[in-house]
Amino acid sequence: MAQFEDNLAKADELLKRFREGPALHYIAGRLTAGRSGESFDNLTPIDNSVIGQVARGNAEDVDYACQAAWSAFPAWRDMAPAQRKKILHHFADLIERDAEEIALLESMDTGQPIRFMSKAAIRGAANFRYFADNCPGARDGQSLPMQHHINYTLRQAIGPVGVITPWNTPFMLSTWKIAPALAAGCTVVHKPAEWSPLTAVKLAELADEAGIPAGVWNMVQGLGEEAGKALTEHPHIKALAFVGESSTGSMIMAQGAPTLKRVHFELGGKNPVIVFEDADLDRALDAVVFMIYSLNGQRCTSSSRLLVQKNIEQEFVARVAERVRKIKVGHPLDPATEVGPLVHKRHFDKVMSYMDIARKDGAEITVGGETMADLAPGNYVQPTLFTGARNDMRIAQEEIFGPVLTAIPFEDETEALTLANDVEYGLSGYIWTADVGRAHRMAQGMDAGMIWVNSENNRHLPAPFGGTKASGIGRDGGDYSFEFYMETKNICIALGDHAIPKLGV
């Protein structure tokens, strides 16, 4: 209780500045309200009250930011990698120093429980450290000798890049994109989500304090269809790293097409967790519950479809239900809270609409299905479990992005694989079995960019992260990130006097 009260007092103090003035843009090394001076309300999902204003960036602000990124690019690209590495490590130090502040702001802004957000800030710092350490080798290439020539390759930063991020764990996701871009030698224009503007300001301020030169990191607040669209269309931006909904991804691809932008998309998911009868069911239970109800279910890799073998279905689903009933829903700053309010009233309405859809389609709501009346007017949803569902129901096909799990039985391995793949998405998949051969067969057969066997989602930064089908294009992590933010150049040199074809002799 004391910790909760302490968090509330600290958050109130941190939010004071956003009550006094809008969450600003950061362009060419300066915090600015932008050309129009217009702003929009920022609401906290805790009670939907206004906690401040957000500068509403327009095409002019985006142009100013892109010009700044363009001018700063050559010097940043050509800076000695060891120096860039030093600056990025310093940046990580500052994130760690302010981790508590970042976590409190993020929780107030997004409704994500503080127990997860404190770790998200530290993970943000880890992203910077990892790419800082790999910065000196990012340009390395291959040597490809021929008899009379030698080819060698090297990589060079692609140019200024646009980074567009969503509102679920916005701080961590932004660092995941921006850290490799900067380490590669790119300059950045970041457009954070309109529903989670606060930690983007904090990030920009830390960039300044870390000594990142003016124009290397720019951030424009605003609406997707306004500031975001202008960024995707700007001719100075060479590549777009986008995290968000699949439908937004296709819009961005179209918007970026006239200027031939390279795109990297991390999109939605409807990820299966498959539990076979021979699995360690205690551990599977922990993972199943964690992977859908943590982060308010607003997690791209959440296991939102539980595929469970028929002969253990009743017992396993009953155990899941028992856990779900006990999940503690509450204020995101309360350290005991496991599920907080959903980010925005509009998203809350979308999630709640699936309760009716489930009933209409003939599924049962075994747990939850209602709002948390005692926590109104916040966007609180009861953790929910749908049973008696089929894979062709909307609750099994569409990304709900809330603390809502759909359980579906299967007979055997073949049926499990068919159900797992029968969705438009292909981000991640989870398999629980004691049979090693089956684990491999399923992992190889599943349409997904990432598979975890007998594990919840955990992240190793050199490993590729990304999705297939409607879940994305491209991979993040390790060298995969550098591949995206850099151009590979081949240089071919003659070793001697080889015969050159002669014309017009």
Residues acting as catalytic residues:
266, 300
Residue nearest ligand NAD (C-beta atom): 224
243 interacts with ligand NAD by CB under 6 A: yes
Residues in 112-131 that interact with ligand NAD by CB under 6 A: none
- Three-class secondary structure assignment of 200-258: HHHHHHHHHHHCCCCCCEEECCCCHHHHHHHHHHCCCCCEEEEECCHHHHHHHHHHHHH
Measured from the CB of residue 415, what is the shortest distance to ligand NAD in angstroms? Answer: 26
234-273 b/e with 16+ CB inside 10 Å = b? bebbbbbbbbbbbebbebbbebbeeeebbbbbbbbbbbbb
DSSP 144: E
Q: Rounded to whole angstroms, how far apart are CA atoms 434 and 451?
A: 16
Binding of residue 47 to ligand NAD (CB under 6 A): no
- 328 — phi, psi (to 5°)? -90, 115
Which of positions 477-496 make contact with ligand NAD (CB under 6 A)? none
Show the site string, 355-394: x = touches ligand NAD by CB under 6 A, - = not. ----------------------------------------
Alpha carbons 29 and 208: distance in angstroms, whole number: 7
CB 181 within 8 A of CB 217: no
Mode of pairing for the β-strands spanning 364-367 and 239-243: unpaired
Instruction: Tell me, by CB under 6 A, how many residues bind ligand NAD.
Output: 32
Query: Under the criterion CB under 6 A, does residue 199 sit at the interface with ligand NAD?
Result: no
For residues 231 and 416, which CB has a smaller minimum distance to ligand NAD in the complex? 231
Q: For 149-216, give the secondary structure using H, E and C.
A: EEEEEEEEECCCEEEECCCCCHHHHHHHHHHHHHHHCCCEEEECCCCCCHHHHHHHHHHHHHCCCCCC
Q: What is the smallest separation between the CB atom of 203 and ligand NAD, expressed in angstroms?
A: 14
194 sits near ligand NAD (criterion: CB under 6 A): yes
Nearer to ligand NAD, 255 or 387 (CB): 255
**Counting contacts by CB under 6 A, is residue 467 touching ligand NAD?**
yes
Asked if 427 is part of the footprint of ligand NAD (rule: CB under 6 A), the reply reads yes
What is residue 40's DSSP assignment? E
- Report the alpha-carbon distance of residue 169 to residue 437 in Å, rounded: 36
CA 245 to CA 218: how far, in whole Å?
23
Nearest residue (CB) to ligand NAD, 69 versus 210: 69
Q: Tokens standing for 328?
A: 């503690």
Using CB under 6 A as the binding rule, whether residue 403 contacts ligand NAD is answered as no
Task: Please pick, from the candidates 268, 297, 369, 402, the single residue that binds ligand NAD as defined by CB under 6 A.
Answer: 268
User: Contact between 401 and ligand NAD (CB under 6 A)?
Assistant: yes
**Closest approach of ligand NAD to the CB of residue 472, in Å:** 5
Could you say whether residue 267 binds ligand NAD (CB under 6 A)? yes
Q: Which two tokens stand for residue 223?
A: 């609406």
Q: Which of 103, 184, 193, 241 binds ligand NAD (CB under 6 A)?
A: 193
User: Which of residues 334 and 399 has its CB atom nearest to ligand NAD in the complex?
Assistant: 399
Structure tokens at 247: 């439908």
| CB of residue 40 to ligand NAD, shortest distance in Å | 12
Q: Answer yes or no: are the C-beta atoms of 88 and 183 closer than 8 Å.
A: yes
Q: Which of 399, 419, 442, 452 binds ligand NAD (CB under 6 A)?
A: 399
Residue (4 or 480) nearer to ligand NAD, CB = 480
> Smallest distance, Å, CB 476 to ligand NAD?
8
Q: Which span (1-9, 21-29, 129-137, 224-232) binds ligand NAD, by CB under 6 A?
A: 224-232
Q: Of residues 294-313, which lie at the interface with ligand NAD (CB under 6 A)? A: 300
Which of 46, 68, 104, 252 contacts ligand NAD by CB under 6 A?
Answer: 252
Q: What are phi and psi for residue 263, nearest 5 degrees?
A: -125, 150
Q: Which is nearer to ligand NAD, 134 or 296 (CB)?
A: 296
472 binds ligand NAD (CB under 6 A): yes
Q: Which is nearer to ligand NAD, 120 or 300 (CB)?
A: 300
191 touches ligand NAD (CB under 6 A): yes
Rounded least distance, CB 3 to ligand NAD, Å: 28
Under rule CB under 6 A, residue 45 binds ligand NAD: no
Quick one: which segment of 54-62, 240-248, 288-296, 481-489 binds ligand NAD (CB under 6 A)? 240-248
Contact call for residues 261 and 239 (beta carbons, < 8 A): yes
Cβ 94 to ligand NAD shortest distance, Å = 24
- Residue 160, sorted as left (phi over 0), alpha (psi -120 to 50) or beta, turns out to be beta
Question: Quick count: other Cβ atoms within 10 Å of Cβ 166?
Answer: 24
The Cα–Cα gap between 23 and 18 comes to 6
Using CB under 6 A as the binding rule, whether residue 155 contacts ligand NAD is answered as no
From the list 180, 95, 175, 166, the residue with the least C-alpha distance to 134 is: 180
**Are the beta carbons of 39 and 53 closer than 8 angstroms?**
yes
**Residue 245 touches ligand NAD, criterion: CB under 6 A:** yes
User: What DSSP letter does each residue of 410-468 carry, written as one string?
Assistant: ESSHHHHHHHHH-SSEESEEEEE-S-HHHHHHHHHHS--SEEEESS-----TTS-B--E
Residue 448 in contact with ligand NAD, rule: CB under 6 A: no
In the complex, the residues that contact ligand NAD under the rule CB under 6 A are 164-168, 173, 191, 193-194, 224-225, 228-229, 232, 243-245, 248, 251-252, 255, 266-269, 300, 399, 401, 427, 467, 471-472
